[in-house]
Amino acid sequence: MTAAGPFGLITSDQALLDDITQGLAAVEEMLRDATKSSYDFITQASQHLMNAGGKRFRPLLVLLAAQFGDKHAPGVVPAAVVVEITHLATLYHDDVMDEAPLRRGVRSVNSQWNNSVAILTGDFLFARASDILADLGPEAVRIQARTFERLVTGQIRESMGPGSDDDPIEHYLSVVADKTGSLIATSGRFGAMLSGADETVVDIMTNFGERIGVAFQLSDDLLDVASDSAQSGKTPGTDLREGVPTLPVLYAKASQDPGDARLRELLDGDLTDDARLAEALDLLRAHPAMDAARRELLRYAESARELLAPLPDIPAKAALAAICDQVVNRTG
């Protein structure tokens, strides 16, 4: 019998499902402790997004990668907490830069309080992640530092936009690799490395994480245009309204077809107006740009799946392959 677990994890192996469920429960407990402060307000702010939920995809990948070594090694759960706290911290900073009023269905910290609180709370979370990381050894600290460098580089490059000689689509994909792929790559790397898995497994899980991380973002891009809000829980066109570049939008803007003039006009204009946004969504949903973006999503997901071939045939390998399908077929 196939069971669905965290993040809709698909596995026919009950022992794996039990391991992952127990591991994520331990992550959640440590996450809660790690985000506490002696000052009640800091605890409230730092746990604000954590309490709002989240997929815990990065901790899940740490735990699955650890299945190829000693899954109960002492560094595995702390590493899963480090990557999730790091992810949460980046969301606080992202919301300030994007002036986002909502995150995970609740008011963002910058909206509920102010930008200063959001920025400093993100810094607090980064400090807590570093504190946990110090117990995992200098190599883990170095990996995290380099990951953080990529996260920041990706954010800066996104803010600056492509240069005059850059292809906008190639620029976007490289930004996504830095902003999203890098931390998911580190999740796979930490799980394999800290469980004592073979170096070949560590390399595979690192590269798998990067590619499935990019695929995850590209699926978000498609959901922003194509999702049904009742099914996905997302409001269609949120990125479009805010002027956030996504892959379908970039493909549509690159079109030279005279019949796309109205769509390009809308995409280059103000989409805060509900009627203009609805028109842009209708035109974009019917545009070949959506198929082009889906093909790119499939390319990344399939390349991630192909990386898994040399891994031992244990239940975690099949679960990782199933994640490739889930990322492609996401509805939320």
Write the CB contacts of 63 (distance below 8 Å, at least 6 apart in sequence): 19, 20, 23, 24, 27, 71, 76, 80, 191
Please give the structure tokens belonging to residue 222.
């498609």
Which of 197, 213, 245 is where one domain is finished? 197
**E strand spans, the chain:** 3-4, 10-11, 102-103, 106-107
Band of residue 116 on the pLDDT scale cut at 50, 70, 90: confident
Q: Has residue 54 got a pLDDT over 80?
A: no
Q: CATH code at 295?
A: 1.10.600.10
CA distance linking residue 109 with residue 201, whole number of Å: 39
91 is a domain residue: yes
- Residue 101 above 60 pLDDT? no
pLDDT tens, 189-216?
A: 999 999 999 999 999 999 999 999 999 9
Angle between helix 199-226 and helix 274-285 axes, rounded to 10 deg: 120
Q: 139-183: per-residue pLDDT in tens?
A: 999 999 999 999 999 999 998 999 989 999 999 999 999 999 999
Q: Is residue 1 assigned to a domain?
A: no
Residue 97 shares a structural domain with residue 125: yes
pLDDT at 256 over 50: yes
Kindly indicate the confidence band of residue 1, based on its pLDDT and cuts at 50, 70 and 90: very low
pLDDT(323) > 90: yes
Tell me what the mean pLDDT of segment 17-25 comes to: 94
* pLDDT grade for 9, boundaries at 50, 70 and 90: confident
Residue partners of 240: CB distance under 8 A and separation at least 6:
224, 225, 246, 249, 267, 271, 277, 280, 281, 284
Q: What angle do CA 191, 77, 331 make, to 5 degrees?
A: 70
213 and 191 in a common domain: no
DSSP state of 7: G
pLDDT digit string, tens, across residues 214-235 = 999 999 999 989 876 544 445 7
Query: What pLDDT, on the 0 to 100 scale, is given for residue 331?
Result: 61
Considering the domain architecture, whether residues 204 and 215 belong to the same structural domain is answered as yes
Task: Using pLDDT thresholds of 50, 70 and 90, give the confidence band for residue 105.
Answer: low
* Domain limits for position 146: 13-197
Buried b (16+ CB within 10 A) or exposed e, 102-112: ebeeeebbbbe
In a domain, residue 268? The reply is yes
| Residue that wins the pLDDT comparison between 6 and 182 | 182
Instruction: Provide the domain count of the chain.
Output: 2
Residue 97 banded pLDDT, cuts 50, 70, 90: low
User: Which of 143, 169, 197 is the last residue before a domain boundary?
Assistant: 197
CA distance to 57, 169, 300, 314, per residue, from 332 (Å): 13, 24, 19, 28
Q: What is the pLDDT of residues 62-91, one digit of tens each?
A: 999 999 999 999 999 999 999 999 998 888
**All residues at 6 or more sequence positions from 116 whose CB lies less than 8 Å from its CB, including other chains:** none
Whether residue 2 has pLDDT greater than 70: no
114 Cβ contact list (under 8 Å, min separation 6): none
Can you say how many angstroms the Cα of residue 107 is from the centroid of all Cα atoms in its chain?
20
* 69 lies in some domain: yes
- Percent above pLDDT 90 for the chain: 68
161 and 204 share a domain?
no
Q: What is the pLDDT of residue 233?
A: 47
The confidence score (pLDDT) of residue 7 equals 55
Whether residues 182 and 214 share a domain: the answer is: no
Residue 239's pLDDT is what?
84
At 97 the three-state DSSP class reads helix
Q: Indicate if 47 and 163 belong to the same structural domain.
A: yes
Residues 265 and 280: their CA atoms lie apart, in Å, by 9
Do both 193 and 215 map to the same domain?
A: no
- The percent of residues in the chain predicted with pLDDT above 70, rounded, is 88
Q: Are residues 187 and 216 in the same domain?
A: no
pLDDT reading at 281 higher than 70 = yes
Do 144 and 279 lie in a common domain?
Answer: no
Q: What is the mean pLDDT of residues 28-38?
A: 93
